[in-house]
Amino acid sequence: MPKIGETVRYGQSGLCKIEGKCTKEIAGEQQEYFMLTPLFKKGSTVFVPCANEELVQKMCSPLLEEEIHLLLARAAEEELEWIRDFRRRSEASKKALGSNDRLDALLLIKSIYAHRKENQGKGARVHTTDDYFLKDAEQLIYSEIAYVQNKEYEIVAQEIKAMLKIEE
């Protein structure tokens, strides 16, 4: 069970601090909620129903240093096939961002950059929605690793892109 004061990763909200619990009345029923404050999305609060085990389980600990190295090594070796169908690609991207599987998010980043490079050679651009998914995936991954390694976001971004051989 998550504890007040802990830092957790929660889906697309990224790293959050569990500030406390509160009670809210929803549809005439009192429910207890965890109050999460995203570390990198200032001014927002996420409320997670304490009784909803599925949502509470989505709160997970930040990566450990050794997990980061293993994750990046694995991402450097793997490739994600580009999904040509826009709707299927969007669904897969949403799933990658909503899960706590950091490998999926890293492979999404790698895939969009590869597709962007391929399109530049043809004088074409990637879909705007793919750019949004890229930005969200980078923010989730880079900010978590920057937090764990106590480094600046931009330095982490550069190191990861170098390790994954991403060319902009």
C-alpha torsion angle, residues 34, 19, 64, 132 (rounded to 10): 80
Is the torsion defined by CA of 147, 150, 153, 158 positive or negative?
negative
Return the residue matching tokens 């980061």: 68
Coil, strand or helix at 16:
strand
pTM for this structure?
0.88
For residue 125, what pLDDT is reported? 84
Tens-of-pLDDT digits for all 168 residues of the chain? 789 999 999 988 999 999 999 999 888 889 999 999 999 888 899 999 999 999 999 999 999 999 999 999 999 999 878 999 999 999 999 999 988 899 999 999 999 999 998 888 788 888 999 999 999 999 999 999 999 999 999 999 999 999 999 987
Residue 105: Cβ-neighbour burial (10 angstroms; 0-12, 13-18, 19+)? buried
> What does the DSSP assignment read for 60-75?
EPPPPHHHHHHHHHHH
For residue 68, what pLDDT is reported? 97
